[in-house]
Amino acid sequence: MPTASVVVSNRRTLIVLSVDDVSNATVRPPFVTLLPAFNETERRQADAIIGFLLARGCVEVCCVGPEAEQLHDSIDAIVESVGYLDMVTTWHTDYSDAFEYFLFAAGGGSAMLVAVVASHPDLVALLEKEARAGG
């Protein structure tokens, strides 16, 4: 799925992309990232890109899915090991809660939004619907 973007009602830009597109995405700091956590493979993919996200200006990571708590704990361990103690991480198993927080509160309500959920078309549709509805 190609990168897609939507302007959220509070004038924040939401970019939806895949894990493979993260390194090529044009984002401006500060930004907040939404990472899916549906299985161990996704958790490992997230672990592999978290350093890159931090270096690019990610200030918060929101984890969503059945294994969101495990991903959250893993990311916390990574950011603590590199001394990036200002990083905020959250986790939600409920998609509506996750999307509402991500779209309208994460990053203090002003950071660019980067959702790495393109491999989940159902999540993309729900996220974009919520973004257009304005919460």
Q: H or E segment at 14?
A: strand 13-16
Instruction: Tell me the CATH number at 16.
Output: 3.90.190
Structural domain tally of the chain? 1
3-state secondary structure of 97: helix
pTM: 0.90
> Which structural domain range is residue 120 located in?
4-133
pLDDT in 10s for each residue of the chain, 135 residues? 445 556 565 678 888 999 999 988 888 899 999 999 999 999 999 989 998 999 999 999 999 999 999 999 999 999 999 888 888 999 999 999 999 999 999 988 888 999 999 999 999 999 888 888 875
Burial of 15 (0-12, 13-18, 19+ CB in 10 A): buried
Helix H or strand E segment including 54: helix 40-56
Q: Is residue 58 helix, strand or coil?
A: strand
CB atoms within 10 A of CB 35: 29
